[in-house]
Structure 1
Amino acid sequence: MQFRYDINGLRAIAVLAVVFFHFNPQWLPGGFAGVDVFFVISGFLMTSIIFNGVEKNNFNIFKFYNARANRIIPVLAVMSAVLLIFGWFYLIPSDYRDLGRQVEKSSLFISNLLFAKGGGYFDTAEHTKWLLHTWSLSIEWQFYIFFPILIIILKKFFSFKKLKLVVMSLFLASLIYCVYATYKDSKTAYFLLTSRAWEMLLGGLAFLYPWSLQSQIKKISVQSIGIVLIITAYFLMSKDTLWPGYMALIPVFGAYLIIVSNYQNNLIINNPIFSHIGKWSYSIYVWHWPLVVFGFYFTFENWWIYGIPLSILLGFLSYQFIETINFPRYSSWKEIYKVKPFYIFLVILVCGYAIKETNGVISRLPVVAKIAENEISNSNPYKCDSSLRNRDVEECKIGNTNNIKAVIIGDSHADALTTAVASAFDLKNEGVISIAASSCPFFLNANIQDHKNNDDCHSINIKRLQLIESKRYENIPIILISRLPAYIEGQNDVERVKNEGNNPSIYFSNDKKMSKDTLYKLISKDLTETLCKISKSNPTYITYPVPEFPMSIPKTITKNAFFNRPITLTMSYESYLKRSSKVRDIIQNSAKVCRVTTIDPAKILCPANQCISTYNDRPIYRDGDHLSEYGNKLLTPIFKEYLSK
């Protein structure tokens, strides 16, 4: 196949969009669609190699894999090695362990499966995942593995013409599944081969069913439509668009039109700048995301000013000194021991695995930092999964379930304090029930607009109320625990505010421009309704908000110890009240109307007008606002005092 200048320019359009989006999403809110364009290009090129070989009966699958490994593994391995060396000196163990796990999975080209379990591609937390971008490389490699095997097998049963129809059928099946899967769970569908294969298969169809455009005007017209579709997607799509559903057809079909037009002389995509960027595109893509995370991790202001040029520079250097290495290609499986990228792959895989298994080489830390690191994962030991949504109410039973003494209801803060309540009882003879759902306080009429969950907290609360009204737990104390300030005032974590803002996430109707005064009045009304309904059949308690710190306490302590900085972290009681006083007033007033008892964690957590983050030199939080299993035990006496009455 002759060198395709149009495809090389298309690579430039794709990689620049992705880079601009990651460094500054406001510029190109749909720039992430550049990855979809890459998939179409890969599908076209790989299909051409496979089918040309199959048609001539000289396709060698080992040689095909060897060529892909020669191109993909060296750059990925060097980037991973640089990150592992950097991480040794600058990443705390929990972050270094996560990096090791990502290196391990990306080396095996299954990192997409790892990231599919996270909060979603656009989740702010994903900005701390150094190898998040390797999800697309994993999908491409999986396609490279399975597609030629499938074609080789089917070639024994079908003619070349029917093989092309098989590819068409696979394209349609994957597209239909993609639309369905995106609607059901877009966060998972984003990362899976099954919902992305159609994009590569459409590229394959561009090769299998080429357009016969004789006139230059037709070629230019088709190519121009393709460019317009891609640019439209870059500007009109955003992280709020369900992706990669049917909307992905816009940039994908645009890339398809550019390929089938086969017009080489359009200066928009075939120019000296795009010619070089296109050649460096793979390396630019591999190196740019770690630079994005680097700026995020160290909270650099206006990092894009340096990050974008550095991405292009590293891409150039990587292309010149790594990609252009001419590794030999072999044709037989017996020669696998000669394939140098295979050994590179093994070394990086072993390093990543070792770092993961040693918890980020925790031995690098002083004792105080090791203790802080362990606190991050020190959460509810009863396996009460508060992150489950779109389900029936889960009753997590603790202790003797034949003698229930308390029911805890609320969001993830309720989950965090569950064992503080449970520890107030003799669990051999007594038990408690925890009914917690992340980002869903027990608050009638509340609809939480949460960036991780698209479902309806209101329906979950209806089920909770139905459970109470069923009188299964009649006369048993009910304790309501939630992080109300976060829903009303927004996030207070410095990094999350920087990336998401601190807008309220709780609305009553679809009026997102509701004033704070109106919002507080509605909250007061609905909290009163909630408490009064519950207290008719059950003794009811509600906690005031737990003090929230604007950073992860364990990670901050670990970083301070790691870099020999002062460790003490406290917050004034006045700062706590500044964020929580209005919520506390609402809780107090509603509780008074409904004759509900209030419990104040701040009495213990904020002694002498200073809210503590450590106790006996050990963190009491597992992040910035959730108490750890060690920390929540500080509240056991206050729960015991009220519940034993």
Structure 2
Amino acid sequence: MKPISSRLYGLDTLRALAILLVFANHYVNFVTRRPTLGFVGEIGWAGVDLFFALSGYLIGNQIFAGMRRDAFSLPRFYARRLLRTLPNYYVVLALYAFWPVFSAGAHHAPWWQYLTFTLNFDLRPGTLFSHSWSLCVEEQFYMVLPAVALLAGAVRGAWRLRLAWALIAAGFVAGMLMRAHAWDDVRPPPGGNGTFYREIYYATLCRFDELLAGVALALMKNCHAGLWTRLTAWGNTTLALGVLLVGCAFRLFLADHFGRSETIFGYPLLALGFGLLVLSALSPGSLLHRVRVPGAASIAVWSYAIYLIHKQLCIVLARELTPLGLDPNMPAGVALLLAASILAGWVLYALVETPFMWLRERYVPADRGEKKPAAEAAGLRGAGS
């Protein structure tokens, strides 16, 4: 690992925030089934969307930077992506499949769907390892994105960038139209239902707004250097605007998570807010970029492993510890289960992810001999590249 001074503090902070939000949401929905953590637990599902925005930028930047240097390799991209995601994922999947204590007899989908990252297709809430739906959306998106980028890059002249931006804009519009169509078919009740989750919340074509926002930032950085320099000079302004827009989106979703307008327009609003936060994190003068939050870098590095294992681990531990007098609704119970999740994530990172990352860097370089700047490489390792 690079020295900590080479890391991008802002990206670390956002990624640590994302995993803590997800933890809070899963905790209140699957461990205590009570509003133990208040509105943070209720809105914590948006941590996944923050992960999407971060990954969209980091993976998009990898693709566009390589193309700009004429050094991007599609086979290497796919190989590096799979070496990053598969080892941890398959180890945790094996726990669900072969350790009865971990699975607790819950319903599972056909195993081929887990193995092929297609679980989110017609996924029923409550299915074993259901939170891997977000990994499915990411993997599907990143199987398509580089091929689309290369096709757009084949266009000559000024039309190349126009086409790229047109595709991003069309993606946002298409997402809204598909959610509108799906909502009109589902018409969920005020409290939502399983069909809403199957047809909208888990559906790839309805849930890539934040990924597109991150890709748009990467395109701007690599193809509009002057605009990027001007925007990153206003880091604290974009931080304030990002917080404001995310706050507005949270208020909409907390008022009615399953409403038609919220479903259609809430996710693009959240994408814009999170995109501005990522932009602020990359702006040298912003507080988000400059302030190092203690522990955030480590949690950011371990966040993928924590995401995979924390939910079921907390369910199992809460069941075992409650008879011993440890109430998961109390602060001590929350702290213990959070600490156990972080520790388990670290173990998974150290024993599984780290060796495969060494193999990836040793045998599958990102492109034809080019090296990333140290800070960018550190940010990529900590954000799911």
**In the alignment, which of 5, 13, 25 is matched to residue 17 of structure 2?**
13
1:111 aligns with 2:119: yes
In the other structure, the counterpart of 1:222 is: 238
Name the stretch that deviates more: 292-301 or 160-169.
292-301
1:399-414 alignment runs, 5 A limit: none
In the other structure, the counterpart of 2:350 is: 320
1:73 aligns with 2:92: no
In the other structure, the counterpart of 1:47 is: 60
| Distance (whole Å) between structure 2 residues aligned to residue 292 and residue 8 of structure 1 | 24
| Distance (whole Å) between structure 2 residues aligned to residue 312 and residue 50 of structure 1 | 31
In the other structure, the counterpart of 2:220 is: 209
Alpha-carbon distance, 1:23 to partner: 0.6
1:189 aligns with 2:200: yes
In 2 relative to 1, CA 89–283 (structure 1 residues): closer, same or farther, beyond 3 Å? closer
1:74-473 alignment runs, 5 A limit: 74-87=87-100, 91-92=104-105, 95=106, 98-99=107-108, 101=109, 103-115=111-123, 118=124, 120=125, 126=126, 129-159=127-157, 160-181=160-181, 183-184=183-184, 185=186, 186-187=196-197, 188-210=199-221, 211-212=227-228, 218-230=234-246, 233=249, 237-238=253-254, 240-242=256-258, 244-261=263-280, 262-263=282-283, 266=287, 270-294=292-316, 300=322, 302=328, 305=334, 306-325=336-355, 326-328=358-360, 329-330=363-364
| Distance (whole Å) between structure 2 residues aligned to residue 216 and residue 156 of structure 1 | 29
Q: Is the 8 A contact 2:209 2:267 kept in 1?
A: no
Percent of aligned positions with the same letter in both sequences? 23
Alpha-carbon distance, 1:308 to partner: 2.0
| Distance (whole Å) between structure 1 residues aligned to residue 239 and residue 46 of structure 2 | 18
Q: State the aligned residue count.
A: 316
Alpha-carbon distance, 1:141 to partner: 0.2
Give the TM-score taking structure 2 as reference length.
0.72
Alpha-carbon distance, 1:288 to partner: 1.3
In 2 relative to 1, CA 170–43 (structure 1 residues): closer, same or farther, beyond 3 Å? farther
**CA RMSD across the alignment:** 3.1
| Distance (whole Å) between structure 2 residues aligned to residue 16 and residue 232 of structure 1 | 20
In 2 relative to 1, CA 103–235 (structure 1 residues): closer, same or farther, beyond 3 Å? farther
Q: Is the 8 A contact 1:44 1:205 kept in 2?
A: yes
Q: Is the 8 A contact 1:10 1:255 kept in 2?
A: no
* Letter matched to residue 131 of structure 2: H
Alpha-carbon distance, 1:163 to partner: 3.9
Q: Is the 8 A contact 2:43 2:254 kept in 1?
A: yes
| Distance (whole Å) between structure 2 residues aligned to residue 71 and residue 143 of structure 1 | 15
| Distance (whole Å) between structure 1 residues aligned to residue 232 and residue 83 of structure 2 | 37
SS at match of 2:295: helix
Alpha-carbon distance, 1:216 to partner: 8.4
| Distance (whole Å) between structure 2 residues aligned to residue 22 and residue 169 of structure 1 | 32
In 2 relative to 1, CA 86–234 (structure 1 residues): closer, same or farther, beyond 3 Å? farther
| Distance (whole Å) between structure 1 residues aligned to residue 51 and residue 308 of structure 2 | 13
In the other structure, the counterpart of 1:391 is: none
| Distance (whole Å) between structure 2 residues aligned to residue 277 and residue 231 of structure 1 | 24
Q: Is the 8 A contact 1:226 1:257 kept in 2?
A: yes
Q: Is the 8 A contact 1:30 1:235 kept in 2?
A: no
Alpha-carbon distance, 1:46 to partner: 1.5
Alpha-carbon distance, 1:169 to partner: 3.0
In 2 relative to 1, CA 88–291 (structure 1 residues): closer, same or farther, beyond 3 Å? closer
Q: Is the 8 A contact 1:33 1:233 kept in 2?
A: no
Q: Is the 8 A contact 1:20 1:31 kept in 2?
A: yes
In 2 relative to 1, CA 74–203 (structure 1 residues): closer, same or farther, beyond 3 Å? same
Greater share of strand = 1
| Distance (whole Å) between structure 1 residues aligned to residue 237 and residue 183 of structure 2 | 34
Q: Is the 8 A contact 1:8 1:278 kept in 2?
A: yes
In 2 relative to 1, CA 16–239 (structure 1 residues): closer, same or farther, beyond 3 Å? farther
| Distance (whole Å) between structure 2 residues aligned to residue 179 and residue 5 of structure 1 | 35
| Distance (whole Å) between structure 2 residues aligned to residue 209 and residue 73 of structure 1 | 30
Alpha-carbon distance, 1:107 to partner: 1.6
Alpha-carbon distance, 1:207 to partner: 1.7
Alpha-carbon distance, 1:48 to partner: 1.1
Alpha-carbon distance, 1:104 to partner: 3.1
Q: Is the 8 A contact 2:214 2:275 kept in 1?
A: yes
- Consecutive unaligned residues of structure 1, counting only runs of 5 or more, are 121-125, 332-645
Q: Is the 8 A contact 1:44 1:200 kept in 2?
A: yes
Alpha-carbon distance, 1:135 to partner: 0.3
| Distance (whole Å) between structure 1 residues aligned to residue 64 and residue 247 of structure 2 | 31
In 2 relative to 1, CA 90–64 (structure 1 residues): closer, same or farther, beyond 3 Å? closer
Q: Which has the higher relative contact order, 1 or 2, with Cα contacts under 8 A spaced 6 or more apart?
A: 2
1:88-131 residue CA offsets vs partner (Å, 9 max, x unmatched): 89745xx4xx33x364312200011141xx2x5xxxxx2xx331
SS at match of 1:53: helix
Which structure's CA Rg is the greater one?
1
* Letter matched to residue 270 of structure 1: R
In 2 relative to 1, CA 274–18 (structure 1 residues): closer, same or farther, beyond 3 Å? same
| Distance (whole Å) between structure 2 residues aligned to residue 59 and residue 194 of structure 1 | 26
| Distance (whole Å) between structure 2 residues aligned to residue 212 and residue 89 of structure 1 | 47
SS at match of 2:129: coil
In 2 relative to 1, CA 214–58 (structure 1 residues): closer, same or farther, beyond 3 Å? closer
In 2 relative to 1, CA 190–60 (structure 1 residues): closer, same or farther, beyond 3 Å? same
SS at match of 1:272: coil
Greater share of helix = 2
* Letter matched to residue 168 of structure 2: M
SS at match of 2:62: helix
